[in-house]
Chain A
Amino acid sequence: MSVVGLAIKSLRNRRFGAALTTLSIALAVMLLLGVERIRSEVRTSFASTISGTDLIVGARSGPVQLLLYSVFRLGDPTQSIAYATYEDLADHPQVAWTIPLSLGDSHRGYRVLGTTHAYFEHFRYARERGLELEAGRLFSEVFDAVLGAEVAAKLDYHVGDEIVIAHGAGEVSFVEHADKPFHVSGILKRTGTPVDRTVHVQLSGIEAMHEDFQQGGRARDEDPLPARARRPASGGHPHGHSHGRASGDRNAHDRSPAHSSAPERHAHQPEKISAFLVGLKSRSAAPAMLRMVNEYKDEPLSAIMPAVALQDLWQLVGVAETALRVVSVFVLAVGLVGMLTALLSGIEERRREMAVLRSVGARPAHVFGLIVGEAGFITFAGALIGLVLLYLLQMAAQPLLAAQLGLFIPPAWPGWQELGVLAAVCGAGIVIGIIPGVRIYRYSLADGMTIRI
């Protein structure tokens, strides 16, 4: 009791310096835990971007690339696959459902995804969660669009607004399909996945937009917009596009590019898509299905299992994650070294104090305990304050994180891992305190009853 009282009074006497040391450790702890929290949250949200899908099939490419463009809307498909191939595979007896994906266009920096109702029906994220509408309805017309939550929020779109889709993925596009504005028919609820950043339209919508582009594209240099603008729009659109995903019209796929320009014939039946998601009747069929797709004879295809590809991708991303972690560990080390410096520089001054304590009966162990206890107390207080700061920061930054990164980090109680980190920090503090502790222990033995001035 008595020695603890002394330690507290001694610390109070040096409160300013001690407070600074504590604060630096608190900030380091906050950083370390904050990075850890963001990391695990990113990892969770990363792993939950897609679920329930057994295979992703696209043109032959690396698995990570296929995953990136089909799920994360990053990068572009280098090649597309024939719609006929898609239909062929979709008819496979093991296949329960498929979702075709057609990518390559954008709206003000957000990717446009051509797909079908199957997307809203079968796509799952975060284990078993499906997509839900926040407002409006799913697309039914060729030029209907369903917006992800972030697209709508950032660009302030509402159901009924008109949007113009550009060719290519950039924020600034030189070719806009201004003649074919889309109508916002619905807005999805927030998912925290790339779906939020996607403009969803019908496959037929993409086709309708592009066939016009293909026709008029070459003439574009001399004749920017107006002349060709009206024609296809007034053309076959009100009819024809209503046919569903897998509906008949098989002939359409056999068309050569030459007659793809006849709008009323193909009725926006897509010729090519970028990739498709596959749900199997039985998950155990996945490896066989994978092999079959990879050896598909008509055209080179790649199939991936999302979980495996996510793992690969995470390892890629993991380098940055590790770097972040290393940096925060170093920041903590700097904080602790700062404490060590403060303790060591205080030791010369405290030698007298220690000699006095020894003279009244303090043991070398007491003297040692005073120093180590102080280091332990400072790190403990630092860890605790760091934790509090973390929660405060988290509360303050929550809206920003949600808006900018789509991360929702619930203010949960510290987990075991975090408690482990805190314990490790306190342990490190005590270990570091041992250095000056041993020194002052030696001094107190060597100095005996003399006071060095």
Chain B
Amino acid sequence: MNDQSSADAEQPAADTGRNSEREAVIDIDGLRFRWRAGGAPVLDIEVLRVGRGERLFVEGPSGSGKSTLLSLLAGVIVPQQGSLRILGERLEAMSGAARDRYRADHVGYIFQLFNLVPYLSMVENVTLPCRFSKRREARARARSGSAPAEALRLLEHLGIVEASLFERPVTELSVGQQQRVAAARALIGGPELVIADEPTSSLDAAHREAFLELLFRECAEADSALVFVSHDAALAPLFERTLHLPAINRARSAGSMMRPPSAAAA
């Protein structure tokens, strides 16, 4: 797939500092994050670099800080210590509005479930990022002439071709179809970073492979880095590189949940 696929994919802990030959999309340095001031850190990562177009599989059990890492990468939360550079810019130094803009411009996000806004059509769901990012709108337009046209192109590439589907409310789509629409949305306008939070957990094995193939192909075409989180280690071989989060997360208890401890009963 990617011509730069490296040989060190099986040794995540050892190679986190490499890939410097590629333009870094993600560059983490001495990052520490805690939900509450004075609380135990949930995430403590010395170094993590993800290059342009790279496909990284992040694996780890519940509570290992996966969701927290994704929220940090998406710029929803910021680390208290260390630096988190995305495309060379320090997220923790940005204002909230700037991080929202960064996310709109550079990040495509796929949720585990319920990706679609129920009152929008399929194409409107896909073009949603273009409402918030002029850059992605412009890139979609440059590619296909208009954002909806680009949406249709992506949907077609992702295997949604039946015209009848476009008419139906998105809530009537199957889960597999919904996830493909979500992938198209994450990819529209070619963001440099695509984050996928267990997008295949509700798909059966056959659909899972097919979905991943489509996702890889489109990421490669857009030269987007893909950070794919799952607790399903069986998917790891499909990726260039696998990161076992507990191995690089030096935080002792490794936190537990996305939520602040007060809200996290589990």
Contacts and interface: CB of A to CB of B under 8 A. Distances in A.
Q: Do A and B come from one complex?
A: yes
Interface of A: 2-3, 5-6, 9-10, 12-14, 352-353, 355-364, 366, 445-451, 453
Contacts of B74: 359, 448-449
Given A361-B104, A362-B132, A449 B97 contact: no
B118 to A, nearest CB: 7
6 contacts: A5-B131, A360-B103, A360-B185, A364-B96, A448-B74, A449-B111
Contact of B111 (A356, A361, A446): A356
Nearest to A445: B76
Nearest to B136: A361
Contact of B133 (A12, A361, A448): A361
A353 B76 contact: no
A451 B258 contact: no
Contact of B103 (A361, A445, A446, A450): A361
| Interchain residue pairs A-B with the least CB separation, the first 6 | A361-B104, A13-B119, A2-B131, A361-B132, A359-B109, A448-B71
B120 interface: yes
Given A361-B129, A361-B133, A450-B67, A352 B114 contact: yes
Contact of A363 (B96, B113, B124, B128): B96
Interface residues of B, number: 38
Judged by DSSP, the binding face of A is helix
B118 A6 contact: no
A448 B71 CA distance: 6
A159 B115 CA distance: 82
Contacts, number: 92
A430 B131 CA distance: 25
B259 interface: yes
Given A12-B119, A448-B77, A449-B76, A360 B114 contact: no
Given A355-B111, A361-B103, A13 B118 contact: yes
Interface string B123-156: 0100011011100000000000000000000000
Contacts of A14: 119
B260 A446 contact: yes
- Point out which of B70, B116, B118 has the most chain A C-beta atoms below 10 A from its C-beta: B118
Nearest to B257: A450
B112 interface: yes
A453 B258 CA distance: 14
Interface in B4-28: none
Nearest to B103: A361
B157 interface: no
Given A361-B105, A364-B96, A446-B260, A451 B112 contact: yes
Given A361-B101, A361-B129, A9 B119 contact: yes
Given A9-B120, A362-B132, A363-B97, A356 B115 contact: yes
A204 B213 CA distance: 111
Given A359-B74, A361-B103, A451 B114 contact: yes
Contacts of A5: 131
A109 to B, nearest CB: 62
Nearest to A13: B119
A359 B258 CA distance: 15
A453 B114 contact: yes
B29 interface: no
Nearest to A2: B131
Given A448-B77, A449-B71, A449-B111, 17 more contacts: A2-B132, A3-B131, A5-B131, A356-B114, A358-B100, A359-B103, A360-B185, A361-B101, A361-B129, A362-B100, A362-B104, A445-B76, A448-B67, A448-B258, A449-B109, A451-B113, A453-B113
Nearest to B109: A359
A446 B263 CA distance: 10
Nearest to A447: B258
Contacts of A356: 111, 114-117, 128
B100 A363 contact: yes
A25 B132 CA distance: 33
Interface string B242-266: 0000000000000000111001000
B197 interface: yes
Contacts of A366: 132
B76 A448 contact: yes
A3 B120 CA distance: 13
A68 to B, nearest CB: 62
Nearest to A1: B131
Contacts of B77: 448
Interface string B232-250: 0000000000000000000
Nearest to A3: B131
- Point out which of B71, B96, B107, B111 has the most chain A C-beta atoms below 10 A from its C-beta: B111
A362 B100 CA distance: 7
